[in-house]
Structure 1
Amino acid sequence: MLKCVLLIASLVTSSLAVKKIPDHFLLGTGTSAFQVEGAWNEGGKGPSLWDTYLHNQNATENGDVACDSYHKWQEDVANAKALGLDFYRFSISWPRILPNGTLNNINQEGIDYYLNLIQALKAENIEPMVTIYHWDMPQHIYELGGFLNPQFVDYFEDFSRLVYKLYGSYIKYWLTFNEPSLICQGGYGMGIMAPGLLLNGDGIYQCGYVLLKAHARAYRVYDEEFRAQYNGQVGLVVNFQWAEPASNSTLDLEAQERYTEFELGFWVNPIYLGNWPQVMIDRISNRSKLEGLSRSRLPSFTQEEIEYINGTHDFFAINTYGVYQVKYAPEPAISYPSYTFDLGVDIVNDTTYYNPKGVRDMVNYISQKYQPNGIIITENGKPSEDTLEDMDRINLIRDYLGNLIDALVEDKVNVFGYSIWSLMDNFEWGSYKSKFGIIRVDFDSPNRTRTWKESAKWYQNVIATRILDDA
């Protein structure tokens, strides 16, 4: 009798340690043009914002060659096929298609490059998931003002319409912008990313205001001109690290909510609910007044803009890498304008890659608050040492993916896909030292030799078996 009980207990434990991934759940990997293509001045491509930014800094590492995917795309497709990917997410380089960013110079060689890539993926039953803007703005468009120029919306409309025309018959999933908070906070606020502007009190908000209108324009163009013919879907990719309160005190819970509204609601409230989060409107307006300004540093949407942006979503795409802890902080003194002061919470633990259950909490929160048609994790992963034995990456992906499957199966959250960042080691916006790939790239080799890591072999097996082993 005891043996029977032990056997049943063993079977129960074993079943709990293995998760079945539903067949409809999409498994993929991602890259971006600037990070993998190289060929920065080949094939008719014009300079991008990032090309100029790094060249002006005389950076020892840049994207001039990267993984050389412009020449090695067939090998990349072969690896995607061998992995068994359901989808491969990549971006289209705006200056490779439109060298100066405008329609008066259309580059056929660039068009053909992406057409060949897309057709090769489709031939292997791999869904191409296309990011229209993954940070590589044409230099000419930046010199016209970039995200601080309201006319950016028109330029992005032209580019979006063109790629819809060129590739719409092949593409089911379009992503307008990748990670707007990094674009605006990193590039226009903190000055740590291209274009390196230090406009922390107002540039971030002006950038966001223009970017969200550009997203809405690209969505409306597809909706009105292409959806009936191609029946694809369009969404914005946000980046967000879930945050837990440092305690269950009322003040720490309020800090968690404010952090979430500033870091996530900033970008998705206008799209899903209409207008900025009220806490942002109130805090930035009040602090602006106390700073002696005659108006809020946060631009106000007109009612027409609110209605135009609201509803511009077919699915909710999010890049997430970890979990933070936040707690209450005393109101920052009035001094110089600052996004950090506007936020006004204390991030006591900003070390990511702990508590993978946070992703389950996060998608439940998104599902309940925004009620999207579906949620997809478009980036998740971690950097590791330059080794093929990357068990730390396997463990993290297993934990995050397991929590997503729990959210899907047990919580009934409509999560429909997951993408590892990245298919291969690439140029991580200033350095090749961060190794995010499941395939190693030898950047010391002129051939940029690709070698599968243990994580690639593990992911290949997960995709083939649709089984996630928690052990």
Structure 2
Amino acid sequence: MNTKFPKNFLWGGATAANQVEGAWDLNGKGPNLADAMVAGSHKVERKITLDINEDKYYYPSHVAIDHYHYYKEDIKLMAEMGYKVYRMSIGWARIFPNGDEEKPNQEGLKFYKEIFKELKKYNIEPLVTIYHNEMPLNLVKIGGWSNRKVIDYYVNFAKFVLNEYKDDVTYWIPFNEINDLTTGVGNWNHGGILNEGTETFQNQKDDPNKRFAALHNQFVASAKAVIIGREINKNFKFGTMICHITVYPLTPHPDDVLLTQQEDQLRNCFSGDVQIKGYYPYFMKNYFEKNNIKFECTDEDIKLIKEGVCDFYTFSYYMTNCITINKEVTQVSGNIMGGAKNPYLKATEWNWQIDPVGLRYTLNHVYDRYGVPIMITENGIGAKDVFENGEIHDDYRIDYYREHIKQMALAIEDGVDLVGYTPWTAIDVVSCSTGEMAKRYGFIYVDVDDKGKGTLKRYKKDSFYWYKDVISSNGEKL
């Protein structure tokens, strides 16, 4: 296959601070919402504890893979793979421990300065997510993003970070998977909302009014950060980040087709439209009215949203789901939301369906709607890796990536302006949904188990060497 990627294509990988850094209470860092999540599994729900009790529970993010102390080794390994770009996030509570301080924690600022210095050493471009599910726990206690005060606290944090690293970073993402607040499970991780009666991450109580207020507040905060950022450095580029829940109708029944369209509009197009086009789409006004959803939205908010649009579009893509009016069909899992089982697709051990062609479909769908440069900022497969004699033979991961990269090349051939790819993940991380280490995503294996036991030593998987060849050949050698 002739896979022609642009000459300056940004190959790389991605992580999030709360899933790799550890050092959860070191050098002035405050607790964030991830630090309050107990370990779980595919069968055991992750418990949320506002009062952190390490004597009673194991919290995976407290040590994670200790990237805080291993970052030089980790970045060196990324450089060995040939990374052009590294998508990472800045932990809010490492800079502002309570989230509402006026002055930042200097130790936190210094840590990220060192990260950027190390990336520059290897000519790796940082792509920085300002908010990646890392709200300081103190702000959760005032309602999280459903409280409008948090807009100002975030803007203060974003302004400081944008100014502090104005010479180190060009590409910024104000919010990770911002559209996850269109679902009830998005309350905690994405909105910092802990409704009364919620005990676990997977089974949350929901208040749509509060949740959509939180999403609106994030739209306003994002727009403000973009506007301020452009004043700080006119070369800054800002991207939206959508958890793309690509959906197909299970059958050609018109009701399935219509429901699929409505799901796509709500889950995917709504947030993209606000952040790229700069306004609330017509179908959401109808949705709010029909569902009696009300939240504070001022004329100034609408003005800011129009002014603070993003420059490029990024999204996560792991699988596709099917939609049907038939409630009796077999269901499958997914990233944030599941759906009806597609009879034509295989699934992972965690019941996520594998659909490379769906990525090409998604790229065309997104580019047709927005016409701006696109980056795929998350894509990958969670799997149990067998570690033997310092080796990990992960052919299943290589197969997954190979087929998805082929479809990326075909999308580029279709005319899509795809400029970058940062698979999830650069290195093994704590799984967000289950809190496991056994559900591994990285090209680099970290010797630590679901209980935090291990040497933390890093090992190169077979996929490490394969991806190195992909990057060096600019996608020609698959």
Task: Indicate the residue corresponding to 2:233 in structure 1.
Answer: 227
Q: Secondary structure at the match of 2:422?
A: strand
The range that moved more, 124-133 or 353-362, is 353-362
- Identity over aligned residues, as a percent? 30
Q: Is 438-447 or 211-220 further displaced after alignment?
A: 438-447
Instruction: Report the counterpart of residue 7 of structure 1 in structure 2.
Output: none
Return closer, same or farther for 1:458/1:399 CA change in 2, 3 Å cut-off. Answer: same
Match of 1:467 among 449, 456, 475: 475
- State the alpha-carbon separation in 2 of the partners of residues 98 and 401 from structure 1: 39
Secondary structure at the residue paired with 1:130? strand
Deviation string 1:54-77 (CA, Å, 9 cap, x unpaired) is 454754342111111111111011
Say yes or no: does 1:438 pair with 2:417: no
- What SS does the aligned partner of 1:63 have? helix
State the Cα distance separating 1:393 from its structure 2 match. 1.0
What SS does structure 1 have at the residue aligned with 2:420? Answer: strand
What are the Cα deviations for residues 123-143 of structure 1, in whole angstroms up to 9, with x where unaligned? 111001111111111122222
Q: For the residues of structure 1 that align with 2:173 and 2:63, how far apart are their CA atoms? A: 25
Q: Which amino acid aligns with 1:319?
A: S
> What is the identity, as a one-letter code, of the residue corresponding to 1:366?
V
Structure 1 equivalent of residue 421 of structure 2 = 418
Give 1:193 shift.
6.6
**CA distance in 2: counterparts of 1:91 and 1:396, whole angstroms:** 25
| Kept after mapping to 1: 8 A contact 2:166/2:233 | no
The answer for the alignment partner of 1:72 in structure 2 is: 70
1:404–1:193 CA distance, 2 compared to 1 (3 A) = farther
Larger Rg: 1
The DSSP-based 3-state class of the residue aligned with 1:420 is coil
The question of whether the paired residues in 2 share the 8 Å contact of 1:131 and 1:175 is answered with yes
For 1:192 and 1:131, locate their aligned partners in 2 and report how far apart those are by CA, in whole Å.
Answer: 28
Query: CA separation in 2, counterparts of 1:357 and 1:40?
Result: 39
Post-superposition offset of 1:280:
3.2
- Given that 1:188 and 1:196 are in contact with CA atoms closer than 8 Å, whether structure 2 keeps it comes out as no
- Summarize the Cα distance change of 1:195–1:396 in structure 2 as closer, same or farther, 3 Å threshold: closer
1:298 Cα deviation (Å)?
4.4
Say if 1:93 and 1:133, in contact at 8 Å, map to a contact too. Answer: yes
With normalisation by structure 2, the TM-score equals 0.83
Does 2:59 match 1:51? no
Query: Is 1:386–2:385 an aligned residue pair?
Result: yes
Q: Please state how far the C-alpha of 1:257 moved relative to its aligned partner.
A: 1.1
Shift of 1:20: 3.4
Task: Verify: 1:376 aligned to 2:391, yes or no.
Answer: no
What is the root-mean-square deviation in Å for CA atoms of aligned residues?
Answer: 2.4
What aligned pairs does 1:305-316 form with structure 2 within 5 A after superposition? 305-310=301-306, 312-316=309-313
Tell me which moved more, 251-260 or 410-419: 251-260
Instruction: Name the CA distance, whole Å, in 1 between partners of 2:475 and 2:11.
Output: 12
- Distance in 1 of aligned mates of 2:247 and 2:122: 39
Counterpart of 1:349 (choices 341, 344, 350) is 341
Task: Answer yes or no: is the 8 Å Cα contact 2:249–2:256 preserved in 1.
Answer: yes
Whether the 8 Å CA contact 1:28–1:418 is kept in 2: the answer is: yes
Residue in structure 1 matching 2:314, options 312, 317, 320: 317
Normalising by the residue count of structure 1, what TM-score does the alignment of the two structures yield? Answer: 0.85
Moved more, 359-368 or 200-209: 200-209
| Contact 1:398–1:468 (CA under 8 A) maintained in structure 2 | no
Report if the CA contact (8 A) 1:99-1:105 is conserved. no
Q: How many residues align?
A: 427
| Corresponding residue of 1:259 | 263
CA gap of 1:117–1:203, structure 2 versus 1, over 3 A, is: same
More helix by share: 1
SS of 2:130's partner is: strand
Distance in 2, Cα, partners of 1:100 & 1:35? 19
Question: In the TM superposition, what whole-angstrom CA distance separates every residue of 1:75-109 from its partner, at most 9, and x where no partner exists?
Answer: 01110111110111111111111111134342111
Tell me how far apart the structure 2 counterparts of residues 300 and 116 of structure 1 sit (CA, whole Å).
40
Q: What CA distance in whole angstroms lies between the structure 1 residues aligned with 2:352 and 2:362?
A: 14
Task: Name the CA distance, whole Å, in 1 between partners of 2:19 and 2:214.
Answer: 23
| Structure 1 match to 2:41 | none
2: distance between equivalents of 1:28 and 1:59?
A: 35
Query: In structure 1, what residue type is equivalent to 2:310?
Result: H
Q: Give the match's secondary structure for 1:164.
A: helix
Post-superposition offset of 1:200:
4.5
Secondary structure class of the residue paired with 1:147: helix
Q: 2:463 — aligned with what?
A: 455
1:180 corresponds to which residue? 178
Alignment of 1:360-375 (within 5 A): 360-372=360-372, 374-375=373-374
Provide the C-alpha distance between the structure 2 equivalents of 1:298 and 1:358, rounded to a whole number of angstroms.
Answer: 35
The 5 A counterparts of 1:68-467 are 68-182=66-180, 185-188=184-187, 198-223=205-230, 225-228=231-234, 231-287=235-291, 296-299=292-295, 301-310=297-306, 312-328=309-325, 347-349=339-341, 352-372=352-372, 374-387=373-386, 388-408=392-412, 410-429=413-432, 430-444=435-449, 447-467=455-475
Deviation at 1:111, TM superposition (A): 0.8
The residue aligned with 1:338 is: none
Number of the residue aligned with 1:29: 13
Q: For 1:354, what is the secondary structure of its paired residue? A: coil
